């Protein structure tokens, strides 16, 4: 269990137990609607969400890890907690996601600073990384080291090549990272953690004082439209696999798996797909139908297999990337652009 001081709560307000914090400070949620001094904090909370919706990071009153004024520390925590209340009342998922991400980025900055200034007496950043994200970090000269297995668990969700283990300094089972890289490694988890905190918070009762700010949040959310653009063209990996078969050349087992699962994923039937394999040197109609039915989940273990990720296809030498592949992580997404609101 991480114990936090006032300074630290202002930096990492998502670690606070909201109900307990209000109680400890002697406030109720209702007071924020009625007390004019406290109402300013509601405005601050809305501002905090607006900044996040714009994709920016909320600039707090904390200067160099110390508050400008004593009073500003609780204000920082309150504005976060109230932002969560307002988001829950609005129910706008798109705003919750953006808010969680922006708050994660904000906390990331503090975590990085805290890591740089780590001392024997104060190792909160290391404690947060260990207790919240199961990452065992140790200081090593100017850098930090983490076990390679911990590194892999976190870095595996990154698509940029620089995060591959092969592009890291690895010695004796440890990966060397700068403070910035160490914290960057948990960005997604930090966002997910804040997101789940908000999702798991109970929805408070709507009071009159919150109606106006919630209405404002709803109108902000409308800024993010829903667009779905799709094309029926096949991605280059699939085109290549079809060409291989057309040329009567052998397509590897993994290539056949990719082709079968892709076409099934695009809604084609087993009977529509089977003739594609006719030119394979070892074609056997019965076996092909059996295997396709297996992939479709209509026989065997009843598991519906899905098309492998681009990352996996790269490893299997089945990827023939083109600029149109930008931003997709699975061939099935090729030609589809999607933004979903709320």
Question: Could you list the residues that contact another protein (CB under 8 A)?
Answer: 147-149, 152-153, 155-156, 161-162, 164-174, 254, 281-282, 301, 303, 311-312, 314-315
List for the chain the helix, strand, coil content (%; round to 5).
60, 5, 35
CB-nearer residue toward another protein: 113 or 312: 312
At its nearest, how many Å lie between another protein and the CB of residue 119?
27
CB-nearer residue toward another protein: 121 or 286: 286
At its nearest, how many Å lie between another protein and the CB of residue 247?
13
**What is the C-alpha to C-alpha distance for residues 293 and 80, in angstroms, rounded to an integer?**
52
Q: Are strands 143-147 and 138-140 parallel, antiparallel or unpaired?
A: antiparallel
At its nearest, how many Å lie between another protein and the CB of residue 219?
41
CB-nearer residue toward another protein: 105 or 168: 168
For 176, the 3-state DSSP assignment is strand
At its nearest, how many Å lie between another protein and the CB of residue 302?
9
Q: Are strands 170-171 and 62-63 parallel, antiparallel or unpaired?
A: unpaired
CB-nearer residue toward another protein: 27 or 320: 320
Half-sphere exposure of 285 (CA within 13 A, CB side): 3
Q: Which of 195, 184, 198, 59 is nearest to 129 (CA)?
A: 184
Torsion from C-alpha of 155, 157, 163, 164, nearest 10 degrees: 90
CB-nearer residue toward another protein: 167 or 226: 167
At its nearest, how many Å lie between another protein and the CB of residue 183?
20
């Amino acid at each position: 269990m991480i114990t936090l001081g006032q300074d630290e709560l202002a930096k990492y307000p998502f670690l606070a137990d909201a109900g307990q914090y209000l109680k400890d400070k002697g406030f109720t949620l209702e007071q924020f609607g009625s007390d004019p001094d406290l109402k300013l904090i509601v405005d601050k909370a809305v501002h905090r969400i607006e900044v996040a919706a714009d994709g920016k990071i909320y600039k707090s009153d904390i200067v160099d890890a110390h508050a400008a004024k004593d009073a500003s520390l609780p204000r920082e925590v309150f504005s976060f907690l109230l932002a969560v209340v307002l988001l829950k009342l609005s129910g706008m998922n798109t705003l919750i996601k953006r808010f969680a991400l922006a708050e994660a980025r904000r906390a990331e900055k503090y975590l990085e600073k805290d890591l740089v200034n780590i001392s024997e007496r104060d190792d909160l950043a290391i404690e947060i990384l260990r207790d919240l994200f199961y990452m065992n970090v140790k200081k090593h000269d100017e850098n930090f080291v983490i076990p390679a297995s911990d590194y892999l668990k976190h870095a595996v969700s990154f698509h940029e090549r620089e995060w591959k283990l092969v592009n890291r300094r690895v010695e004796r089972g440890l990966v060397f990272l700068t403070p910035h890289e160490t914290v960057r490694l948990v960005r997604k988890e930090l966002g997910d953690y804040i997101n789940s905190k908000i999702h798991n918070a109970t929805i408070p009762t709507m009071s009159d004082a919150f109606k106006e700010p919630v209405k404002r949040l709803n109108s902000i959310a409308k800024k993010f439209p829903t667009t779905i653009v799709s094309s029926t063209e096949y991605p280059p990996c699939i085109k290549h696999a079809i060409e291989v078969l057309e040329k009567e050349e052998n397509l590897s087992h993994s290539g056949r798996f990719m082709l079968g699962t892709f076409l099934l994923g695009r809604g084609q039937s087993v009977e529509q797909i089977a003739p594609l394999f006719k030119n394979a040197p070892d074609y056997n109609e019965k076996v092909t139908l059996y295997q396709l039915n297996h992939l479709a989940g209509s026989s065997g273990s009843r598991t519906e297999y899905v098309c492998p990720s681009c990352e996996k296809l790269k490893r299997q030498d089945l990827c023939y990337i083109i600029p149109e592949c930008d931003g997709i992580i699975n061939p099935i997404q090729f030609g589809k652009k999607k933004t979903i609101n709320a």
